Amino acid sequence: MTLWRLPATEIARMVRTRAVSAREVAQDALARLDAVNGRISAVVEHRPDDVLAQAAAIDAALAQGENPGPLAGVPVTIKINADQAGFATTNGVTLQRDLIAKDDSPVVANLRRAGAVLLGRTNAPAFSLRWFTDNRLHGRTSNPRDPALTPGGSSGGAAAAVASGIGALAHGTDIAGSVRYPAYACGVHGLRPSLGRVPAWNASSPERGIGPQLMAVSGPIARTIADLGLGLHAMAAGDPRDPWWVPAPLAGPDVPRRAALCLRPGGLAIVPEVEAALRDAARRLEAAGWAVAEIADTPPIREAAELQLRLWLGDGFSALAGAAEREGDPGALALMRAFRPRAEALAPDAIPAALTRRATLVRAWQIFLAHTPVLLVPVSATLPFADGRDLQGDAALAAVWEAQLLQSGLPLIGMPALTVATGLCGTAPVGVQVVAARFREDLCLLAGAAIEAGGVPPAPIDPA
């Protein structure tokens, strides 16, 4: 049996019932990693002996009649920007190659307590800054469906690993699409939870600025919607180290199965393939009993993206730009050069003004989603970018940022958002994005399951 092909829900069931051992699952996962990772460089560090030791501990717990947790024996990868005890939290930069974590971050600790077997560390761009995954320390990650395409970023290694069968579930982080876009680019699913849902903190690093605190979250990437739900359940356990964590229930009250379809939020110009995927997803929802109404626009999303950018530029930009200069990473430097004039032009009160206006936008979105439980919108304006597209000049970089309007705007609002892979256009994956009210990840997953039932790209796959 090729256990690496199975979803996390099935692996956990088989391990709990002792149909297979956690060690057998781990051995199979390591063999799959060895077989394909050399072609995509999704995992940049792993320790087979440690992986097998984790699996042995789960088997021992089962032998003693203990419950190992909901992720019993499931191989899970961890992104290189999260603390995992004994590993460097490199965040894709040579400057942090020796930044060894002494403790697990809350989300990693939660996965471990849930019975996951931590399989390896997945790649990200330098400083986790780009929608492309390449850096001077670990090299380039390839999209397993088409190496000419980006695997997305910044959780590009995580999505490429899941799509290739390296682990059933992956940890990712999302401050401007870093879970949702890699899932889209690699043809799998990715969930950005609400602010406060999944605890996060890196003891190895300084406290983050207010912008990242409000917008950066950890979330799961998987091949099935059910696996996303299982991963969220494990990741969302409370931890006193995160002051933003909220003890909200994972499921809310029943609501009417009503969704809004917005093809061009904020006036975003989308390609025909993206429009076709959205209309197809709407039909899938209707077939599952949802009432879907097309709307002309959403509450402010373009302004939300602008405020997100101001919070990034106005809080810590100089320090990040200096680190990028020392690192010398081309992608990071291109971003710093492009946005430096805007950072230097910000008014002294830019941060408090942005935070004040944020409250107005969040209120508008909350009122909208109170009446419209689910919103269906593009993930990106285009099919996945050619790899390195953002390094092809100022116009190309500007086009990339425009296409990612929903990726950068939605984090400011703090609502959950889900990427659902729906098909392929040649070798390029395509999918849709589902948004719901704060702490209603259950509605994202409910609608996502209905869309998934209409067909998804084949996964896992052998890398192209």
In contact, 199 and 110? CB cutoff 8 Å: yes
Q: How far apart are CA 395 and CA 336, in angstroms?
A: 15
Cβ proximity of 22 and 56 under 8 Å: yes
Rounded CA-CA distance 120/102 in Å is 17
Euclidean distance between CA atoms 32 and 462, whole angstroms: 10
Is 218 assigned a catalytic role? no
Angle (CA) 138 140 141, round 5°:
105
The one catalytic residue among 21, 41, 128, 154: 154
- Candidate list 21, 41, 79, 194, residue with the active-site label: 79
CB burial of residue 111 (10 Å; 0-12, 13-18, 19+): buried
Q: How far apart are CA 403 and CA 132, in angstroms?
A: 14
What is the Cα–Cα distance from 350 to 160, expressed in whole angstroms? 38
State the catalytic residue, choosing from 41, 178, 194, 380: 178
Burial of 251-268, coded b for 16+ CB within 10 Å and e otherwise, reads ebeebebebbbbbbbbeb
Whole-number Å distance between alpha carbons of 430 and 383 = 6
Asked whether the beta carbons of 222 and 421 are under 8 A apart, the reply is no
Residue 21 is a catalytic residue: no
Structure letter (DSSP) for residue 372: S
What φ, ψ does residue 148 adopt, rounded to 5°? -80, -15
The answer to whether residues 238 and 280 touch, using CB atoms and an 8 Å cutoff, is no
Active-site residue, 102 included: no
Tell me the catalytic residues. Answer: 79, 154, 178
